[in-house]
Amino acid sequence: MPQFNKIIGILKPNSYLKTKFGEILLTKIPMQAAQSPESAALEIDEKDVGKIAIVEGNLSGDVLYSAQIIEIAPSITSALIKSLIEKGILSLKDLQTQLANIESKEKRKLCALVIGHKKASPGAINKNTGITEFEFNDDLAIRIEKKIKNVDIQRVYRRTYKELPHDINELNPDFIVSLHCNAFNTKASGTEVLYYHRSEKGKKMAEILLKHLVEHLKLPNRGIKPKTAEDRGGYLLRYTKAPCVIAEPFFIDNDDDLARAQEDIDGLAEAYAKAIEEIVEVV
């Protein structure tokens, strides 16, 4: 029988719950305890018998160990659901499936996707095309967001650089990816990712992101770069609470680098999306 963190069913007398698995005994005893489950059965108030409830615990056979009632539906709601079940319109299996889907969505992690610079201060620029770092990454961020399936994305725009870590921390994300472009002398080329030098999770994130960006762009691999708070970009990496990386996928002032990024910008967005989906496993 499958095990669920949360199980939905109809509360029955004598500490039982009618579920898609059949009737299961609710007990406060942990699964490993030597005493019998019946010796500490979970008490059900008489007024709640017959109501729909969500119960949490460890399921084994027809016993839910360490059981606790999370939520009980009101009388009218319970009566309505039971009527639908009796008419064959709804089943306890349907309810359990929907509960599992909701629980899965609740566990989705949040990525703060930061657009480097801002419209009034757009960062690096390609002189031949006039494309700025902000313009490129603003468009890219929207494309990335559309491709993400299993992670919640929150785009973040900069008010001021000093306020940026605070603004991100207020969102309480699980991790942060900041979108940038490099610039130097119009000839430098390649892909690199920055991370805070004391962050092991940041380092793992940087390795994952670099791998996907290099595979797509096929530009020189400049590696992952540890940064201190005093280094360029280090302020954001140091003062955000969640692990953070800064992506520098190409040199925007290099015409060849920019052309490579532009020729398949959807593919670049897909590379970021794949990396973000993979990063979830390490944060």
Out of 106, 130, 147, a domain closes at: 106
Domain assignment present for 79: yes
Q: pLDDT tens, 203-219?
A: 999 999 999 999 999 99
- Tokens linked to 20: 């898609």
Whether 34 and 70 share a structural domain: yes
Whether 177 and 271 share a structural domain: yes
Residue 32 has pLDDT above 90, yes or no: no
CB atoms within 10 A of CB 52: 24
Whether 125 and 218 share a structural domain: yes
Average pLDDT value for the chain: 93
- Residue 221: CATH number of its domain: 3.40.630.40
Contact 193, 206 (CB under 8 A): yes
Burial of residue 128, with CB atoms counted within 10 A of its CB: 0-12 exposed, 13-18 middle, 19 or more buried: exposed
Residue 1 has pLDDT above 50, yes or no: no
DSSP character string of 155-186: EEE-S-TTTHHHHHHHH--SEEEEE--B-SSS
Whether 185 and 263 share a structural domain: yes
Q: pLDDT tens, 58-93?
A: 898 899 999 999 999 999 999 999 999 999 999 999
Out of 51, 78, 106, a domain closes at: 106
Contact 254, 187 (CB under 8 A): yes
Residue 107 has pLDDT above 80, yes or no: no
Domain assignment present for 1: no
For the residues 146-165, what does the mean pLDDT come to? 93
For residue 190, give the 3-state DSSP assignment.
Answer: coil
Whether 166 and 179 share a structural domain: yes
Bridge pairing between strands 244-248 and 175-179:
parallel
Domain assignment present for 124: yes
For the residues 224-238, what does the mean pLDDT come to? 95
Q: pLDDT tens, 185-202?
A: 999 999 999 999 999 999
pTM summary value:
0.67
Whether 159 and 32 share a structural domain: no
What values do phi and psi take at 68, rounded to 5? -145, 140
Q: Could you give the strand order of the β-sheet that contains 244-248, starting from the edge strand earlier in sequence?
A: 152-157, 110-115, 175-179, 244-248, 191-196, 221-227
Domain boundaries, position 214: 110-279
Percent of the chain with pLDDT over 70: 97
For residue 2, the model assigns a pLDDT of: 40
Residue 247 has pLDDT above 60, yes or no: yes
- Tokens linked to 281: 């496993």
Whether 45 and 98 share a structural domain: yes
**Number of compact structural domains in the chain:** 2
